[in-house]
Amino acid sequence: MRIIKKRIQKPDKYLSGIKMDAKFYIGIPVDDCDPKKINKIGFKDTIDEGDCIFPNIIGSITRFNANGKQIPLKNLPKETLFRDAWIKDWHDDYHAVQIPYKRYPRKKINPPNIELTVINKDGKLIVISPELTFSDSEKENNKHIINLFLECFGMADVYHEDLSTSTDIKIKRLNWEVLPPGEYPWDKMEKHVKAVTRRFSKTKKTHLDKRIEIIKQFNPDFMAIGNGGFQRYMVFGFEDQNLYLLEGYDYGNATYVLRDDWMSISQLTKKEILDGDLQEERITHLKSWENKINNLLTPEEAF
């Protein structure tokens, strides 16, 4: 399975083809890598089997990988610390002093220090992670390494222990037509919607129009219309909030709220999405629907 994202939050959904406690790897074929990106993280122009690097710091994930981080413990009282400073006296002479300040105690998290290695698999060079284990205790480490690859390369492949990429997931492929961003490309979407809803009652159409207008007022970054099994759904993407709404045409159904890789998740059937608890939320078309959508899409700073 190939992951193409900026960052993931729930690694398990991308590792569904890996059995519990099984070994696996995260990697990417060298031929699929952008040469500029692969040089930027530390590889040379000519890459050979056996090359191993500690990725250069290019963002927050590689910085954590190299330096670790400190987490404020806000449940504890603040402590007094001192910072060094230089002050000037009446004679224009500088003196070293220590200035007290208060802050919450910090919990130090050591850096993972993950290195990336180049291997040769059937004549193809692959940048690969250390061996990983699919288990609850390793969830944070697995998440970090996937995000490390996403920050370094913009994508990541999941490999089994034998370095095969086949998965146990049977994905129902769907075609989503993503409409171009900008002032709502509603003419195109409206034509599609009318083709699906031409036999709807006036009441159903009114409910649908109202739901669409409520979502549109929050200025989605893009819209998409579904084909195949999702012909009666449309997508509104709010990329800054990492929110993607799958809105059904039929009143009485529900709005599916997705995060992260909405296109991969929406290729599953609704049963597979619900059984796997892959949706962030499922907002049914009841009286509370409008309030829930408003609360979901209103930026936090607006409160």
List, for residues 149-167, the tens digit of each pLDDT value.
Answer: 999 999 999 999 888 764 3
Ranking 89-103, 130-144, 180-194 by mean pLDDT, the lowest is 180-194
The closest alpha carbon to 51, from 153, 121, 142, 125, belongs to 125
Task: Report the C-alpha gap between 150 and 75 in whole angstroms.
Answer: 33
- Per DSSP, helices labelled H in the chain are 35-40, 60-67, 139-153, 186-197, 202-216, 262-265, 270-275, 289-297
The overall longest dimension of the chain from CA atoms, in Å, is 89
Pairing of strands 94-103, 79-88: antiparallel
Task: Report the C-alpha gap between 257 and 155 in whole angstroms.
Answer: 23
Report pLDDT digits (tens) over 17-76. 788 899 999 999 999 898 899 999 988 888 888 888 889 999 999 999 988 888 888 898
Round the average pLDDT of the chain to a whole number and report it. Answer: 80
Q: 3-class SS at 303?
A: coil
Whether 303 shows a pLDDT value over 60: the answer reads no
Task: Report the C-alpha gap between 132 and 52 in whole angstroms.
Answer: 17
Q: 3-class SS at 172?
A: coil
Task: Report the C-alpha gap between 7 and 4 in whole angstroms.
Answer: 9
Q: Give percent of the chain above pLDDT 90.
A: 21
Q: Regarding predicted confidence, which is higher, 226 or 147?
A: 147
| 227 band by pLDDT with thresholds 50, 70 and 90 | low
Task: Report the C-alpha gap between 39 and 42 in whole angstroms.
Answer: 5
Burial of 173 (0-12, 13-18, 19+ CB in 10 A): exposed
Looking at residue 177, what is its pLDDT?
A: 55
CA distances from 278 to 46, 90, 144 (A): 41, 67, 20
> Identity (one letter) of the amino acid at 91?
H
CA angle 157, 159, 164 (to 5 degrees): 120
Report pLDDT digits (tens) over 168-215. 333 333 345 555 444 445 566 666 667 666 667 777 778 888 888 888
The closest alpha carbon to 249, from 235, 266, 270, 265, belongs to 235
Tokens, residue 108: 């130090």
Task: Report the C-alpha gap between 245 and 257 in whole angstroms.
Answer: 5
> Identity (one letter) of the amino acid at 259?
R
Q: Regarding predicted confidence, which is higher, 216 or 28?
A: 28
Contact predicate 83/101, CB 8 Å: yes
Q: 3-class SS at 75?
A: coil
The closest alpha carbon to 233, from 276, 203, 265, 278, belongs to 265
Looking at residue 262, what is its pLDDT?
A: 78
Q: Regarding predicted confidence, which is higher, 96 or 79?
A: 79
**CA quadruple 235, 236, 242, 246: dihedral sign:** negative
Tokens, residue 149: 């690859």
CA distances from 231 to 151, 175, 191, 225, 226 (A): 34, 9, 13, 7, 5
Task: Report the C-alpha gap between 159 and 145 in whole angstroms.
Answer: 13
